[in-house]
Amino acid sequence: MSDIAVSVERVSRTYGGDQPVVALADVDAFFLRGTATAVMGPSGSGKSTLLHCAAGLDRPTSGRVRIGGTDLSSMSEKALTKLRRDRIGFVFQAFNLVGALTVEQNILLPSRLSRSRPDRAWLAEVVGRVGLGDRLRRRPSELSGGQQQRVAIARALVTRPEVIFCDEPTGALDTQTAAEVLALLRSAVDDTGQTVIMVTHDPVAASYADRVMVLADGRIVQDMPQPGAERIAEQLARLGRRQPVASREG
């Protein structure tokens, strides 16, 4: 169990009242430390809902989520906020940078919010790894999309989180820049033993992961070691031809 970074146990998530929408249906999954997992599936399959529940951004209707040995189900919102700040990193498609802050200030924002002293040696290593050493005093508006995503990755790494959750991290990037960002996430796994869980629609992005988990209709329908981009695309095309059971959350 000490090798499990995140576990999702019989998790369901339902939205709405009179005509409820089932986004997740009794899902069981675990994610090992020091690995990268790509979570895929058609639109409305439940992949983003799974990510949000696993990261403590949304509460399951039933079931349990654990980060390491910590059960999130009984935690208060205040405690969940602290856990996300101290133990989890996030990388989103929209970057979510603060426009009024410099690159360095954006990267150090988690430390500032937790009122902890940043590790300057580790900051320098992270900044060097993402190639931002000459842009620390710039603001996000002065950077390209790829550079902004590098800032977001540095911000996610700087607190040495147990898990980095990524929601379509390359969705707004061109092919070459996306490859550079994915290589950075891959190096976080290979070089520093981080755990990365990434929602993506892109088979090429998924090919950077060790494992691919495919959802459909709120359930896991495939869970396989790295099958390669071509096979991933075939699986998604097959699912896309299926008749959807009902409208579901993503």
For 228, list phi and psi in degrees, rounded to 5: 95, 150
pLDDT at 3 over 80: yes
Tens digits of residue pLDDT in 89-136: 999 989 999 999 999 999 999 888 888 888 899 999 999 989 999 999
- 113 vs 67, higher pLDDT: 67
What pTM did the predictor assign? 0.90
Give the mean pLDDT of 209-221: 95
What is the structure's pLDDT at 241? 67
Q: Is residue 26 included in any domain, yes or no? A: yes
pLDDT at 245 over 70: no
Q: Is residue 248 included in any domain, yes or no? A: no
Residues 6+ apart with CB under 8 A from 107: 123, 126, 127, 132, 151, 154, 155, 158
Give the mean pLDDT of 161-168: 94
| CATH code of the domain covering residue 205 | 3.40.50.300
Domain residues for 78? 4-240
Q: Is residue 104 included in any domain, yes or no? A: yes
**pLDDT level of residue 242 (50, 70, 90 thresholds):** low
Tens digits of residue pLDDT in 125-161: 999 989 999 999 999 999 999 999 999 999 999 988 9
Q: Is residue 201 included in any domain, yes or no? A: yes
What is the structure's pLDDT at 243? 45
Give the mean pLDDT of 191-219: 94
Give the mean pLDDT of 171-189: 91
Count: domains in the chain = 1
What is the structure's pLDDT at 247? 40
The full DSSP string for 26-91 is: EEEEEEETT-EEEEE-STTSSHHHHHHHHTTSS--SEEEEEETTEE-TT--HHHHHHHHHHHEEEE
What is d(CA 94, CA 88) in angstroms, rounded to the nearest whole number? Answer: 18
Q: What residue spans of 88-144 are helical by DSSP H?
A: 103-107, 109-114, 120-130
| Dihedral, CA of residue 9, residue 15, residue 19 and residue 21, to nearest 10 | -60
Q: Is residue 63 included in any domain, yes or no? A: yes
pLDDT at 250 over 60: no
Tens digits of residue pLDDT in 219-234: 999 999 987 888 888 8
Q: Is residue 94 included in any domain, yes or no? A: yes
Q: Please choose, from the candidates 10, 139, 124, the residue with its C-alpha nearest in 3D space to the C-alpha of residue 73.
A: 10
- 118: DSSP letter: -
What is the structure's pLDDT at 110? 87
Q: Is residue 245 included in any domain, yes or no? A: no
Q: Is residue 246 included in any domain, yes or no? A: no
Tens digits of residue pLDDT in 7-53: 999 999 999 877 889 999 999 999 999 999 999 998 889 999 999 99
